[in-house]
Amino acid sequence: QITLKESGPTLVRPTQTLTLTCTFSGFSLSTSGVGVGWIRQPPGEALEWLALLYGDDSKRYSPSLKNRFTINKDTSKNQAVLTIINMDPGDTATYYCAHLSIKVVMGAISHAFDVWGQGTMVTVSP
Amino acid sequence: DVQMTQSPSSLSASVGDRVTITCRASENVYKYLNWYQQRPGKAPSLLIYAASTLQSGVPSRFSGGGSGTDFTLTINGLQPEDFATYYCQQNNKIPQTFGQGTKVEV
């Protein structure tokens, strides 16, 4: 059974750095064909895709993040870590990590987030 | 970025109704399209991937269709637990963008 849980501060000040940890079980992020994604959701708004980390340590980021976001893994701890520098009130959101399911469907490789963490709310305020 | 536009943004329905939500991509995403359900205060859950493949454990009243730029999510026989917000997501290009959501209300 796959589970994920996000942890980190609930309140940060503008310009500070935020570090969120996703601790997971039921899979290993040390092999290819596996991944963890980060998604956020401002209060009352839609989901926003942020980044992907694959088991082979390759990474994909949303270009709109303007190099503020970094994702890394600690395989020994079964963790994926999201770091955001220069936090802004516009970064206030619930942050989710999710297991990336990679499947071959009719000859094509499909990606989907099949298991999600509960989310952690982060507020950016002076 | 690939823009995903859902319609309607919200709809009112009753238990037992058939509901259809549309998702349109700003460019061809082939069948790289997922649907998620999000209940209030909860994390999203995967309903359908690859446009039409039902995720394990999801009731068969949910179905998905389409390819290219136009996709649909249909719920046949709406149940009380189906009142929620639904999101489409393309996974053809990075960033793997979501639609703005469709809220299904009583």
Each residue's pLDDT expressed in tens, for chain A with a length of 126 residues: 999 999 999 999 999 999 999 999 999 998 878 999 999 999 999 999 999 999 999 999 999 887 899 999 999 999 999 999 999 999 999 999 999 999 888 888 889 999 999 999 999 999
Q: Tell whether the torsion through CA atoms of B85, B90, B91 and B93 is positive or negative.
A: negative
Chain B residues touching A103 at Cβ < 8 A: 49-50
- Beta-strand ranges (E) seen in A75-107 are 79-84, 93-105
Q: In 3D, which of B44, B54, B33 has the Cα closest to residue B85?
A: B44
pLDDT tens per residue, range B57-74: 999 999 999 999 999 999
CA distance A76 to chain B (A): 26
Contacts (Cβ under 8 Å, ≥6 apart) of A58: none
Helix (H, G, I), strand (E, B) or coil at B5: strand
A chain contacts of residue B95, beta-carbon cutoff 8 Å:
49-50, 60-64
Positive or negative, the Cα torsion across B74, A50, A37, A54? positive
Nearest CB to B44: which of A105, A111, A116?
A: A116
SS3 labels along B54-87: ECCCCCCCEEEEEECCEEEEEEECCCHHHCCEEE
